[in-house]
Chains A and B, each alone.
Chain A
């Protein structure tokens, strides 16, 4: 006694994605396409840095001090081997930017993964269990938010350098920064996920799961979490951009990545002093790269937020 026959065949996962509103909107939005292309290009370039870069800026043997402060190719006095010019030590700027972007992106993604894991778990627990657990976790979030990331970074950095010395700090700088930025920003995820969980918890499919006898852990992770993914994706883009900027700010202040492992931020810092003497490219070109990277991520985040607005995909 089938009441209706679905004449069309069941679409595969790929077909569903291809026909989804996300893809439809993407095809119509030039800005989103350009941003995604740029972002992917930058990530690829950073990942493939060891193969793409003309020279290894950390290899002291390759650095020629005589080639220092050469301008980029479109200015008189440049050297064709150094397309974007060189810095004060004679390192090729293009190479340092590629390696620097690599470090920035690693820290950005790493911090966000840490934030997400912590924040999503706490948000799920707070939203689903409610009561004292909720109150405790949210107060913890409030306390965490009242600490400025920079302040924490300064203190932790200073303590580690004092206890273990500068060399240890340099070696573990990436991990330390990932930890600091990751731990500083988990409340964002927690709050967002908690709001989603509160909305989902009142829906009948959660009641159905409880009536079926499933335990809390199963309901939280198997039933509710998949339905809170959209806001997580949206804020992740912004958080990656924020993490990159945070690291750049720290490095610019000398509290982040050391000189031996420069990120975009420390490149900007090291070239800053040479602005006065006219070698503007040492600081401004890495700066432009940083701005473009963050801008592209933020624009993608904006587009994603609009596309994933629940009002638009009614079931």
Chain B
């Protein structure tokens, strides 16, 4: 009995340090706060139905990639694609990153509910974030100085928002405030009448107002049919093609239960 427990402990430690997990070992996930809710419900489901321990850390897409490269996790959750530099770093450490689309997500542009602006174009949002427009009255709103809120630099949502709306070449205004998570952006926008921010579609609730972009309201349907312009795939990245439990976990999004979990969380199914 004692021997068996020791073996189990050794296996657990080995699984932790030696990267890709084998059947029966714990699965470690790290990365995006946007993919986090999906990963956590997948983890709970997986533990309940297969008896496999799954741990989920939410430290941002950049940290997820870093963990995968350093062999500290089995699955990196990312709300953006791997950057060239990250792929190169992975290759140099003998890690072969393979990305799997787990779901689709719209990035909702959110305002305080009291703001009567309810639609903006991509160009207007870009002008607000680059600092060209600084007052709500320039875009059909009340006369108030716009409080621009962005995410910190290791956020995948920030990265996607920059490439989908602002443009990689255009620097975001220095006046923009920076918050550390979807939840923090939401709570700042919900409490600041003149604020504008952006959060994953799954985080939108009554405390903030998600506006139409280019005339299209963000919703599961408009993200799925591609008409909502600020949408992106969410990834789970593994080292090499996944096998065993890791494969089963990633492919949960093709099962009926998995699809239900994804849509209940406010994300959009790919399959």
Is the pairing of A and B real? no
B residues near A (Cβ < 8 Å) are none
A residues near B (Cβ < 8 Å) are none
